[in-house]
Structure 1
Amino acid sequence: KRHSTRPGSKGSTELSKVLEGLLSGVSSTLKAPVCKSEVELDVRSQFIRTAESAAGNWFADVIRHAYDEALCKGGSDGGADGVFICAGTLRGDSTYGPVISGFRVSWDSRRPPGQRVLGVWLQKEITESPSSSQASITHEDDEEIKREKGGRTYKIVTREYMAQGHDGFLALKGANYLIDDESGQLFSALVRKYTLGSRYVSKMARLNHVSMDHLHPETHSIIKKARQLREESARSRAVEHWKHAAVLAVRHARSKAHYMDRIAVSHKEHMSGVDCFNGHQARKGSIGEDDKGDNEEGDLLIIHPTVDGRLKDEGRV
């Protein structure tokens, strides 16, 4: 039954009870951890607005490849080249223990506005020991991005605020939208999908359910790679040090395939087994304690973001 509300409409006691139950359920699940960070993520304005930050690097890396599949299906040659968002997107007064990904920027804060950027370079992914599932991922400069008309164009993941030229970022204003605000997703939703997908893959790799029927055929391949990494980590060191081995593995920079795989899994598989909020119960109008059974805190994504020099202020060296 469809209800139309107008100014002065009488409140619904029944609906109020439903909303109260749903909101209380959401509030309780907000206390649940979504990942583990080995370093402090500090997003206070005085830090993230003036220099490169570990938190900004991590968030930018997570969303960089979120739209690659959609871009390729839409006819684009490859995925996004980089990320460019305002640090104000992340700012807050809390400590959660200039935001870019895909390129390196050298700039000088001593120069006047409009003349501070010294150079920008695209970065390419370098895989050491590609035959191993524990291959180390690094990045190095590829081509310099030149300031010239008629040159190469780049695909950048950003927010509409930046794309409209606010805060003086006029370089993005007037550019073509490949995925607009209606087709795009909330920043927080992309990060949530990545953490959920990561936990799902970790859980399936731990349970070792080879015969489990997943909704998408590619999921088996993703879980197989994760299981192989888990087994190699255990074999490479003494059993009592397996946790230390896992920590060392996650400190390596994560690859493009890693981010794409985890986000893709969250799109294609049912996340109810790893989501602290029981959406199935919520859709039925009831919220209760969810029995996660097999879920272990060890399945949580472990992150170790660093300041890697991608945004360097030469004026402070």
Structure 2
Amino acid sequence: MASYRIFGSELSPYSVKVRAYFRYKGIAHEWLTRTPDTQAEFDAHARLPLVPLVITPEGEGLQDSTPLLERLEAAYPEPAIQPADPALAFLSALLEEYGDEWGNKPMFHYRWRDEADQLSAADRIARSMLPGASDDAVAERARAVRERMVPRVWFVGSSPQTAPIIEKSLARMLELLEAHLESRQYLFGARPAFADFGIAAQVWQISTDPTGSGLIPPRTLEWCREMQDPTAHGPFETWPALAPTLMPLLAEEVGGRFLPWSDANAKAIAEEAEEFEVDLAGDRWTQKPQRYHARSLRVLRERYARLDDNADLDQVLQSASCLTWLR
């Protein structure tokens, strides 16, 4: 039987997120990098020049990790990556979105801000793109990668003004994750949920960089390592069991920073503004709007709107200061 082909990069959080899912499900696949030998196949199937790109056995090219995983989940429902409880499933999806869209900010910020991290990442990317090439060829490609990526820190909102906010947010997220994971293997219990794939991929990337490698606490790093090839060890937990340590992450990071930022970004896109400002937990954030994130917030709100009898979920979201941003 033909297998899936995944064009990815070890330095792409969304690529390792997708690969972790394939490994967890036991879906046959081949991992490929974009090299001179594979570029033509990539170009033939990719809508955008971005990884990951998944080519199905039928020859269809799929990009964008979140809808990609949701589509595969319909085809490969076991072992499920969402709790059966609709409220918990929504919270998991909300945290996955937080990982993808907000967790990417510290990852990109730390990777491309300082020279040591820039050089490390650019060299690793260049070597993956040019296997077997001479040192001179790799160095030339690494220079090109660095020149292309460093100016893009603005895209995730990283600037001298926002850098302290990004760094404070990451430090608090890691502190909260460490406390939550002390008594469980994954975010929602003894098996990975959608949220694990989104958040762990970003934190794992941070851990591979010179500066970031010193930031990740031990239990969280262990979780990230396991999420490269996760295994179900038992059931999902109930909300009462999760709440004492998961609610602070929802309230402080998702309700306090991510959703207010996402809402302000979406409004700026709708108003065709060139820049927006928003208060995030008492800090003033300024950046150019990001179009993709406005679409992903709309999808998240549509997911919430489809839920029936969500009084218990609403109580959790209200307590976490999330509800107002989802309606």
Give the TM-score normalised by structure 1: 0.26
**More helix by percentage:** 2
**More strand by percentage:** 1
Larger radius of gyration between Structure 1 and Structure 2: 1
Higher RCO (CA-CA < 8 Å; seq separation 6+): 1
Give the TM-score normalised by structure 2: 0.26
